């Protein structure tokens, strides 16, 4: 065979030298050279370019040039060759007569799809694969067609067409030979990802489980942790605490996570490429299929597993172990923190600290909650993340109100932190629902905070500090309530139904704020607005107004009448006593 190849090469070389302007002879020489073992790709490219120079209108010259550039990229590792391959394949496709040479047309569409896929241009890869499918409806069980379906599925998935990806992966699975279980496992993994992306956890679990079994049978442990993690994610997504079997699914998810974590720690893994409660910066478990497709180094995978385990315990209403695993994740983050940590690492740290703070609050540990939330706030402000800053400020303000209503003294530095944070958000003009509650909570805290008297012999610094605090305690609450009222008018933040009860509570707090001050016209206006709201029954919490009026009543009979109205309102509208 080698002798025959050498004879053919020699013949074409002689003919090309004898006819230097003959493009076909020069092409024949290049084609014969490509059959050497190994081929001299730079020489093949040189001869092909010479043939192209003599006749650039021959499509198969460009097609073979595309192949040669692909080989050059693969063998040399130098970038830029795939772009050249794409160019040559595209020229060949433009020059080819599809009616006369349909097989060549089909092959060129396949080559372009593969090249675009390798370049990461998934939309173009999808377009060419789909054109081939629609134009030629390729069938057969050849390795080429099997890999075509596999690659077509990958292009669909990465172009955001997961339903089509499922179809292509299923077609590929039918064509996988029995003697290639490794390839079958790879396609099953990708099929699981597509089902996961479509929100079909049961089907994703089925595909992942088959892939996991194949990997174990083959003794291939590299993907075991990743597959166990993905099975856990889908068990989590399949669960529902309020649905029959929901807690069982969550417990099974934990088992899968722990198996994955155990595999990581024992074997290691190579890198592969508002109102009522506190708010999480990262709500729930939102692992996407794209994230699930990639592995990390051992530390990265462990951090991810700790997040999943903690989030699962949260769903099970078990804040203790949930916090324990977030703290384990925080320890790993701190372990990998350098002198100049990246913004991504600091953001991750801010999220974990926020979650630890929320869980500490659920465990009845307000001081620990405040400390974690303070640290999270520090990172979100340093990173200039307004949403994270707003969430942390709200959480801290709610904790502070709870502390105040429990009779525990507040630290001045906490109030300073809230005021400073609110002012920072004001400067960025950032607005959200959490900011409304932060403003009203902080205004309430400031208006009820005691004023520390000056020392017997005050210094200039003491007087300046007292002046600033007086400004904060006496002017900022009203300013914050006013800003909160403006936020209520934003229909993007609050619906009409939400606006009325919240506006009533703001007015009620404003009335309490200026009671006893020298602002009777303002007080009269607010009381009139409150009375109108009560009379028109637009205020679900109108019983609070009757209660506040009873506190101010001088005559016992008036006080009794107002208290009776408050009770009657609660009895008539019992839902009105629910917290906002």
Contact 77, 70 (CB under 8 A): no
Domain membership flag for residue 498: yes
**0.85 surpassed by pTM:** no
530 cis-preceded (ω within 30 degrees of 0): no
Write out pLDDT tens, residues 469-509. 666 666 788 889 989 999 999 989 998 888 878 887 888 78
Burial of 554 (0-12, 13-18, 19+ CB in 10 A): exposed
Of 303, 355, 349, 365, which is closest to residue 329 (Cα–Cα)? 303
What pLDDT score was predicted for residue 450? 57
> What is each CA distance from 303 to 159, 228, 326, in whole angstroms?
28, 15, 9
78 within some domain: no
The pLDDT, as a whole number, for residue 501 is: 81
- Residue ranges of the chain with pLDDT lower than 50? 241-242, 264, 267-276, 283-296, 576-580
Q: What share of the chain is helix, strand, coil (3-state, %, to 5)?
A: 75, 0, 25
- pLDDT at residue number 163: 95
pLDDT at 470: 66
- Which residue range is the domain that position 505 belongs to? 494-580
Q: What is the pLDDT of residue 500?
A: 79
Q: Is residue 389 included in any domain, yes or no?
A: no
Specify if 565 maps to a domain: yes
Sequence-distant (≥ 6) Cβ neighbours of residue 285 within 8 angstroms: 233, 236, 237, 307, 308, 311, 312, 315
Give the total number of structural domains in the chain.
Answer: 1
Q: What is the pLDDT of residue 566?
A: 66
Model pLDDT, residue 539: 57
Nearest to 435, CA basis, from 426, 447, 444:
426
- The answer to whether residue 479 sits within a structural domain is no
Start-end of H helices in 337-411: 343-362, 366-382, 386-405
Has residue 527 been placed in a domain?
yes
For 275, residues 6+ apart whose C-beta sits below 8 A from its C-beta are: 437, 579, 580
**Whole-number Å distance between alpha carbons of 464 and 461:** 5
Cα–Cα dist 145/143, whole Å: 6
Dist CA 196 CA 209 (whole Å): 13
Q: Is residue 519 part of a domain?
A: yes
Q: Is 573 a domain residue?
A: yes
């Amino acid at each position: 065979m080698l002798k025959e190849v050498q004879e053919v090469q020699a013949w074409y070389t002689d003919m090309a030298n004898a006819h230097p302007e003959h493009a076909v002879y020069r092409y024949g020489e290049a084609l014969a050279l490509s059959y050497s073992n190994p081929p001299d790709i730079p020489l093949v490219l040189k001869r092909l370019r010479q043939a192209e120079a003599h006749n650039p209108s021959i499509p198969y010259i460009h097609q073979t040039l595309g192949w040669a550039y692909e080989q050059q990229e693969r063998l040399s590792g130098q970038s830029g060759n795939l772009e050249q391959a794409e160019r040559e394949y595209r020229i060949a496709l433009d020059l080819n007569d599809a009616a006369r040479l349909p097989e060549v047309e089909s092959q060129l569409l396949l080559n372009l799809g593969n090249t675009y896929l390798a370049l990461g241009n998934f939309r173009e890869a999808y377009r060419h694969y789909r054109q081939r499918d629609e134009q030629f409806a390729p069938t057969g069980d050849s390795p080429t067609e099997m890999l075509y379906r596999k690659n077509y599925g990958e292009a669909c998935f990465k172009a955001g067409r997961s339903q089509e990806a499922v179809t292509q992966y299923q077609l590929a699975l039918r064509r996988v030979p029995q003697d290639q279980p490794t390839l079958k496992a790879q396609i099953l993994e990708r099929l699981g990802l597509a089902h996961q992306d479509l929100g079909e956890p049961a089907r994703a679990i089925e595909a992942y489980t088959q892939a996991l079994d194949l990997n174990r049978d083959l003794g291939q442990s590299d993907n075991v942790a990743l597959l166990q993690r993905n099975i856990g994610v889908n068990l989590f997504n399949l669960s529902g605490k309020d649905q029959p079997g929901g807690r069982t699914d969550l417990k099974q998810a934990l088992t899968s996570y722990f198996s994955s974590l155990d595999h990581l720690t024992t074997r290691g893994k190579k890198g592969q490429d508002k109102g009522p409660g506190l708010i999480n910066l990262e709500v729930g478990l939102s692992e996407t299929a794209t994230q699930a497709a990639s592995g990390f180094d051992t530390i990265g995978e462990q951090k991810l597993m700790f997040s999943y385990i903690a989030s699962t315990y949260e769903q099970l209403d078990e804040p203790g172990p949930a916090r324990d695993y977030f703290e384990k994740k925080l320890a790993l983050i701190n372990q990998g923190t350098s002198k100049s940590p990246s913004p991504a690492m600091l953001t991750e740290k801010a999220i974990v600290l926020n979650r630890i703070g929320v869980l500490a609050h659920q465990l009845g540990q307000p001081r620990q909650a405040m400390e974690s939330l303070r640290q999270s706030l520090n990172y979100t402000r340093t990173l200039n993340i307004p949403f994270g800053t707003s969430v942390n400020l709200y959480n801290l303000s709610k904790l502070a109100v709870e502390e105040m209503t429990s009779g525990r003294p507040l630290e001045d530095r906490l109030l300073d932190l809230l005021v400073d944070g609110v002012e920072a958000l004001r400067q960025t003009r950032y607005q959200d629902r959490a900011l409304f509650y932060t403003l009203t909570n902080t205004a309430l805290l400031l208006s009820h905070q005691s004023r520390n008297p000056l020392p017997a012999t005050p210094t200039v610094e003491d007087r300046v500090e007292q002046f600033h605090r007086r400004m904060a305690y006496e002017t900022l609450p009203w300013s914050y309530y006013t800003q909160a009222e403006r936020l209520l008018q934003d229909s993007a933040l609050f619906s009409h139904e939400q606006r009325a009860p919240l506006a009533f509570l703001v007015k009620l707090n404003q009335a309490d704020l200026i009671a006893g001050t020298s602002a009777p016209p303002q007080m009269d206006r607010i009381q009139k607005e409150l009375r109108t709201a009560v009379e028109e029954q637009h205020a679900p919490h109108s019983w609070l107004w009757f209660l506040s009026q009873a506190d101010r009543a001088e005559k016992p009979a008036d006080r009794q009448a107002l208290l009776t109205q408050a009770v009657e309102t609660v009895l008539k509208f019992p839902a009105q006593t629910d917290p906002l």
